[in-house]
């Protein structure tokens, strides 16, 4: 049996849209199982989304090419 990692510390007062406890609440069971099994890498997907938004690691706009260099160089596709 795998041991569970410790629960991360997060501010108790934040909007639901920024609360990580609700991150996967609307995600289908099929996708959750794929993430749990390692078939989908949620970190790689987050990196791709940040690149698609043109943002750096601080959430500042840097443009799409720079964001792709920051988040995607040397990364796999997330699947």
Confidence of residue 1 (pLDDT cuts 50, 70, 90): low
Distance of CA 64 to the CA centre of its chain: 18
* pTM of the full structure: 0.76
- Section 64-68 average pLDDT: 98
In this prediction, residue 63 carries a pLDDT of 98
- Section 18-37 average pLDDT: 96
Determine the 3-state secondary structure of 16 from DSSP. helix
Beta bridge partners of 61: 55
pLDDT of 21 > 50? The answer is yes
């Amino acid at each position: 049996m795998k041991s569970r990692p410790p629960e991360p510390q997060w501010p108790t007062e934040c909007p639901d849209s920024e609360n990580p406890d609700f991150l996967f609440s609307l995600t289908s069971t099929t996708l959750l199982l794929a993430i749990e099994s390692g078939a989908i890498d949620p970190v790689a997907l987050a990196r791709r989304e940040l690149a698609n938004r043109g943002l750096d690691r601080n959430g500042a706009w840097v443009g799409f090419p720079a964001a792709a260099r920051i988040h995607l160089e040397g990364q796999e596709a997330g699947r």
